[in-house]
Amino acid sequence: MSNDESRANVKVTVTVGKAIDAALGDALRALLTKPAQELGIMLGDSLGILGDKIKIKRLANVQKGFSELAKKLEQKRIEIGGVIPPSEEDLHVLIEGISLSEDDVVRNLWTGLFAEALNPNNNTTVQRAYTSVLQSMSAQDARILALLSFAEMKERQLRSLVVKLEVQDWSSLTDSEKTALEQAAERNQKFRQETIQQILDRADDWHLLGELTDGGALNLHRVGMVEQIPARFHSFPTSKDIARGNIERVLDQQSAWIENYIKEQEKKSSPPAQIVKSAIGGAGVEFRIRLTQFGRELAAACGLLE
């Protein structure tokens, strides 16, 4: 079948104007329940997806996106028949974003935001601040955001798994207490290593280990999603240090503090090319950037953080 014939088979039947406002909920529920091959009939010019100049590839993205959205709603045990759609304007923005997202990770952010907006159990709304950032994201940006969120979630899980023991007197441990402490330490170390490996594997799968190309995390830094982790400085000399007459040590500390401060200010102007790496000997994961408060809010709105 030729491309012209394929296009001819795509029918636009959704009514425009006030009829769309009245039937918006029905249309959205239909999109979530109809088989993918029927979406071409359901989506119309009024929703900004199909038109004379819109490529069939965008329809394929929407088909994938709504299939993923339906799965997210099912996982959250949200009945599709009872969802209340966002406003027509917000719905347009969400579908438009999904239609332009060929990358799976980028599309997952859009469908995540869509699912959270349809979730009656939370207060997530389709804020313009969120959608404008998503619209500006590259595939690498989406992976950086997802990796930072993944690492934060894994750290929370690790804290919940850590075995903590209460000892009455650390100066005189009983044999049973020593055995219990050793076993707890062994389990905790196992949990920690598993968490480290999961984060490193995810970073490796997404090609985020080593120096990044295409600007690295610069775009996320510009839109306020990430920030550099502050460097640890030498402690600034106190009046007691000076009073003790150790002038040489005081001057060395001042010099080191100023040098590190200058370097830190220079770093803030642009994020590092390498954002994550394995610590020496695989003992940990070292991140050089972290999510800002706004970054966490958007990640939560997209279902990446709880």
Alpha-carbon distance of 153 to 114, in angstroms, equals 21
Nearest to 182 by CA among 198, 161, 167: 167
pTM: 0.71
Return the pLDDT at 269.
55
11's enclosing H/E stretch is none
pLDDT in tens, 37-50: 455 555 554 444 44
Alpha-carbon distance of 76 to 118, in angstroms, equals 11
The dihedral formed by the CA atoms of 146, 226, 212 and 263, expressed in degrees to the nearest 10: -150
Return the pLDDT at 237.
44
> Which parts of the chain sit beneath pLDDT 50?
1-23, 37, 45-50, 52-53, 232-239, 241-242, 244
Return the pLDDT at 263.
61
Return the pLDDT at 166.
74
Domain map of the chain by residue range?
3-136, 142-301
Nearest to 134 by CA among 271, 299, 296, 287: 299
Return the pLDDT at 21.
45
